[in-house]
Amino acid sequence: MQVHTTVRDTTAVITFHNPPVNALPSRLLQDLEVHIRAAGQQADIRSIVLQSEGQTFCAGASFDELLRLEEPEEAAEFFMGFGKVMTAMRDVPKPVIVKVQGKSVGGGNGLIAAADFAVAVEDAAFKLSELSIGIGPFVIAPAIIRKTGIAFFQKMSFSPRKWFSAFDVLKAGLLSHVAENKKRMEETVDHITEAYKKYDPEAVALLKADVWKDTRDWEEILPRQAAKTASLLLRENTRRFLKNLKK
């Protein structure tokens, strides 16, 4: 399980990896926030790429950690980990581009929604599975709704076993580009990052702040959403379901 940053010219490439399916425990979420904010503070960085290794982009919250959580405050802090990563992506004064090479479940879609650009291969698939395990995608909801609107978010979140295609979520606004394969995805991302080498960084920072200004209430909303999720997680029937699912 790791997060590392590689600088390529003026682009910081942040890669996370947690085999086999890139589920996100609290430590990895904390590391992601640190790496994103650190890249955002570097004056010579013009863009940030967030990606994962392996076949799956992200499987969402770590089931292992969900089963270990016992206290409401601890559980709320875990779910706020997703909120802190999304907020870091919003706050950095550089465009953040997310690359989606495969399936994305639950909280992984929050990372996609918090990006300025999200590029996926056409055989990627997307699912909000939270309702099927007794909780809901409450923390990531503000970011997804901001991109797709309430109707598509409702369609996804109320269909927790359904996989949505890359073209479904592109049409809804969650993705900005769909590429026919990984090579084309890399080329699309390179095209975006190359463009930002030529733009004035102060103008970019001011424009990004303006574009995201409608999210300043996240500081109040996300902790409430995390607490709501935590209360559902710690119910006996939810914990029993997770244990059976884990088996």
Range of the domain at 99: 2-181
In a domain, 242, yes or no: no
In a domain, 129, yes or no: yes
CA end-to-end distance (rounded Å), the chain: 22
In a domain, 215, yes or no: no
The rounded percent of the chain whose pLDDT value lies above 90 is 95
In a domain, 44, yes or no: yes
Write out pLDDT tens, residues 24-48.
999 999 999 999 999 999 999 999 9
Q: Taking 80 as the threshold, does the pLDDT of residue 19 lie above it?
A: yes
Helix segments in the chain, DSSP class H: 26-40, 63-68, 72-91, 107-113, 141-148, 150-157, 166-172, 182-196, 201-211, 218-233, 236-246
pLDDT average, residue stretch 105-122? 98
Q: Using an 8 Å Cβ cutoff, are 52 and 13 in contact?
A: no
pLDDT of residue 247: 63
pLDDT of residue 161: 96
Q: How far apart are CA 111 and CA 95, in angstroms?
A: 14
Write out pLDDT tens, residues 117-164.
999 999 999 999 999 999 999 999 999 999 999 999 999 999 999 999
**pTM, entire model:** 0.96
In a domain, 48, yes or no: yes
User: Which CATH number goes with the domain that contains 32?
Assistant: 3.90.226.10
In a domain, 225, yes or no: no
